[in-house]
Structure 1
Amino acid sequence: MEAVQSPVIPIVGELIRRHPGTISLGQGVVYYPPPPEAIARLPEFLADPDNHKYKAVQGIAPLLSTIAAKLHTDNRITLNQHNCIVVTAGANMAFMNAILAITSPGDEIIIQTPYYFNHEMAITMASCHPVLVATDQNYQLRPQAIANAITEKTKAVVTISPNNPTGAVYSKAALQAVNELCRERGIYHISDEAYEYFTYNGVKHVSPAAFPQSHSHTISLYSLSKTYGFASWRIGYMVIPQHLLAAVKKIQDTILICPPVVSQYVALAALQMGMSYTQPHIQAIATVRQLILEALQRLDGLCAIAPADGAFYFWLKVNTSVNPVELVERLIRDHRVAVLPGTTFGMEEGCYLRIAYGALQKETVAEGIERLVQGLQTILS
């Protein structure tokens, strides 16, 4: 555990607490709560005393059925004898399940840089080795570089689209190339799709498990935390090859026994609503996104802003020799605005910052981004 990096969000959170009035553009959460209609299902849960007992490791049957319908309609993923669903305590647990199910100590997992820090942490916790492959100048996949990084110890390639931390959305062609590469080499493609609905400018999300001949080697991870404002309810799910089910159930039974049943009831109601509740909120986030993008233009020459058509992040390359952690500390201490340093996402060379804009309403974001722009202008001048 000493080899595992400390998660940066609690560290930045402590800095924020020490400097009251700081506006956080750090943590990746949404501003809205779960649908009221979903919360209204709580009495139904409480009315049945049996709900206070353990339930199926894989998830309650009505939720599994509703997820299957959602996957068919929204992701074009068909459930058959070759694959199955497992409900998890969030997508992070789904990722840990996947890594433990497919690896032995010393195996390698390919992740793209900048990476999602909890993925890198999970791989290290499993006594495996994260193999870092850099994305291109626009933070898109480089399939040939991924192919070159595969060794006899490689067990999987991880992709995140829409991406955390960059906001990039990978093209269908690139995802198909990676998925086909994994099939040819006999390894898994782990596809993290937690931000599947957060896309802009007409860009569409693609699920690799919808590709032909992908069932036996594709592991897809999903979360309700973002889409339905479910962050603390800890509900996600994974679509896995059927041959991994026995291993995943062993892992989940040991760590969790079953996903929180009360959360599954609320999740069921949320998914049955579909996107009618979430879509207006995503449109509001898109408005905030445009406001931030316009404000960041004032940093032209000081920062390079990566193209970002998904999630709710902007990724800045800052033209400075200042250490990114020191820069984050100065922004909080002197300008009362918080962002995350690129070092926690695996970017050790240069100075990078991640801006998260999903958690705040338009007025607060406007003040926060103004503090950030002025702070960077002051520090970098």
Structure 2
Amino acid sequence: MTTRSQATFPPPIPEARRWLDGVTFSPDRPLINLSQAAPVDPPPPQLRRAMAEAMERAETHLYGPVLGNDGLRAALAANWAHHYGGSVGPDQVAITAGCNQAFAATIAALTTEGDEVILPVPWYFNHKMWLDMSGVTAVPLTSGPDLIPSAEDAAGLITARTRAIALVSPNNPGGVEYPPETLRAFFQLAREQGLRLILDETYRDFHSQPGAPHDLLTTSDWDKTLIQLYSFSKSYRLTGHRAGAIIADPDLLREMEKFQDTVAICAPQMGQMAAEWGLSNLADWVAEQRDEILARRRAIADHFPQLEAKGWKLLGLGAYFAYIEHPFAETSAQIAPKLVREAGVLLLPGSMFFPDGDPSGDRHFRVAFANTDAAGIKDFVERLAVLDWPLAAQKGAA
């Protein structure tokens, strides 16, 4: 017998880290790790002080409400309503132990054995892993050359077993920001077909547009169709404290409460308290972090022509990520460990974001630039530019 876990591919980040085993890097040429989109710096000092004070409060060490602390739910509802110009109440917010758990709770509430969820490819690998382990079929939706999926194409994939369409914008792994009209088209499709539209907005705070990325929350009864997912990990550097959120229909959240109660009971109290303090006090600091991410994005764009001259292509660029195509004869899965050994660069190959047997990712890499800076990006580009490996055959070549 093969369990669902055994049938699911290994987590990509730990697998990539194993490529570092036995490899040493000199001080003058350290590893450039562009594999994971999680900040490694601690929360800002003012938030750490607030968290230290929270340690002395008895409730920090106790179970809390299954769907999250009332104060945080109210604060996030107010933040969401202000940002999107729509109506959001605390009863439409649930707090989870990270955004991955938000997705897992959502799928548990929406699906049963043999159901289907449409995922654009390249997809976020943890979404695919959870669907596999839930007995739910991930139906791949091919994106265009701009990495933007089409609602019209998605309509052709809907069957009697389809329960939802899951999007990530700004996208992981592609970095691209889905245009408002694209999100509106998916929303309309889901509403017409009686499906749920799951919109993972983990990287919302790093969107290149400062205002609302869409107007879906201004639609009447939006919560009967739309489910939004969010993470405090990136915005406040709370990755180790596991704080995420779901914004959805209160009736659906009560179904998710069953999942939450049996998996984690409640999200960690420290993470929730930190997130609530951050919502009230860190708007200016988050804006500064956004500016820094946008500066790194510009650095990718500024330096990439050096790679373009060598046959590389920049397919997507946005919050935390660039998605690139290499010119070499070997596949990205073959090249990725070589990049560690010969260039001192750790990237995830595109094959980790596509279905098994789909060769589309063989030419791609995801570049996660959350933990570098403009100088590191310049160094990264220069290391790739000098690689002199056999090139792939050109299409149409004799």
TM-score by length of 1: 0.93
Match of 2:375 in 1: 363
Distance 1:336 1:315 in 2: 19
Asked if the contact 2:74–2:89 (Cα under 8 Å) also holds between the matched residues in 1, the reply is: no
After superposition, the C-alpha distances for 1:60-116 in whole angstroms (9 at most, x for unaligned) are 1111111111111113342259x6111011110000000011001100000000000
Aligned partners of 1:80 and 1:200: how far apart in 2? 27
Measure how far apart 1:335 and its partner are: 1.1
2:364 to 340, 343, 352: 352
In the TM superposition, residue 379 of structure 1 has moved relative to its aligned partner by: 5.5
Structure 2: any 5+ residue segments left out of the alignment?
A: 26-30, 393-398
Alpha-carbon separation, structure 1, partners of 2:266 and 2:332: 40
- Structure 1 unmatched ranges of 5 or more: none
2:261 counterpart of 1:253:
yes
Give 2:24's aligned amino acid.
P
Q: Which amino acid aligns with 1:8?
A: P
More moved, 153-162 vs 24-33? 24-33
Matched, 1:25 2:34: yes
Matching residue's letter, 2:63? Y
Aligned residue type for 1:40: R
Aligned to 1:55, the other structure's residue is in SS state coil
1:73 paired residue number: 82
Matched-pair contact (CA < 8 Å) for 2:294–2:319: no
1:5 matched to which residue of 2? 9
CA distance in 2, matches of 1:180, 1:69: 25
Residue type at the aligned position of 1:185:
Q
8 Å CA contact 1:19–1:336 kept in 2: the answer is no
1:293 Cα shift? 2.2
2:375 partner letter:
E
Q: 1:141-220, aligned counterparts within 5 Å?
A: 141-200=149-208, 205-206=213-214, 208-220=216-228
Q: Does residue 44 of the first structure (1) align with residue 53 of the second (2)?
A: yes
Q: Partner amino acid for 2:254?
A: A
Kindly provide the CA deviation profile for residues 227-275 of structure 1, in whole angstroms up to 9, marking residues without a partner as x: 2222222111001212212210010010000100011111111111242
Question: Using a 3 Å threshold, how does the CA distance of structure 1 residues 380 and 275 change in structure 2: closer, same or farther?
Answer: farther
2:130 aligned with 1:126: no
Amino acid at match of 2:107: I
Instruction: Name the CA shift for 1:79/1:292 in 2 (closer, same or farther; >3 Å).
Output: closer
1:332 aligned partner = 340
Distance 1:63 1:247, change over 3 A: same
Is residue 190–residue 221 contact of structure 1 (8 Å, CA) maintained in 2? yes
For 1:103-130, what per-residue CA distance to the aligned partner results, in whole angstroms no more than 9, with x for missing partners?
A: 0110000000000000011111110000
Instruction: Tell me by how many angstroms 1:213 deviates.
Output: 3.5
Rounded Cα–Cα distance in structure 2 between residues aligned with 1:168 and 1:329: 26
State whether residues 197 and 205 of structure 1, in contact with CA within 8 Å, keep that contact through their aligned partners in structure 2: no
Structure 2 SS opposite 1:15: helix
CA distance in 2, matches of 1:155, 1:323: 34
Identity of aligned residues (%): 27
Q: 2:44 aligns with which of 29, 32, 35?
A: 35
Deviation at 1:290, TM superposition (A): 1.9
Deviates more, 1:196-205 or 1:41-50: 196-205
Amino acid at match of 1:374: V
Structure 2 partner of 1:103: 111
1:132-171 CA deviation, whole Å, 9 max, x = no partner?
0111110112111100100000000011111011111111
Equivalent pairs counted in the alignment come to 378
RMSD: 2.0
Out of 318-327 and 190-199, give the one that drifted further. 318-327
- Contact 2:84 2:212 (8 Å CA) reproduced: no
CA distance in 2 between counterparts of 1:260 and 1:372 reads 41
Per-residue Cα deviation, 1:261-306 (whole angstroms, up to 9, x for no partner):
0111111111112420122222122222222222221222522211
Q: Distance in 2 between matches of 1:122 and 1:148?
A: 24
d(CA) in 2 for partners of 1:138, 1:51: 46
Alignment of 1:373 onto 2:385: yes
Q: In 1, Cα distance between the equivalents of 2:72 and 2:330?
A: 49
Matched, 1:53 2:71: no
Cα 1:58–1:202 change in 2 (3 A) is closer
Kept in 1, the 8 Å contact 2:92–2:247? The answer is yes
Rounded Cα–Cα distance in structure 2 between residues aligned with 1:374 and 1:198: 31
Task: Name which of structure 1's ranges 125-134 and 364-373 shifts more when overlaid on structure 2.
Answer: 364-373
Cα pair 1:295 1:373 within 8 Å, conserved: no
User: Residues 92, 43 of structure 1: CA spacing in aligned structure 2 closer, same or farther, 3 A cutoff?
Assistant: same
SS in 2 for 1:306: strand
Residue 238 of structure 1 corresponds to: 246
TM-score after normalising by structure 2: 0.89
Structure-2 residue corresponding to 1:14: 18
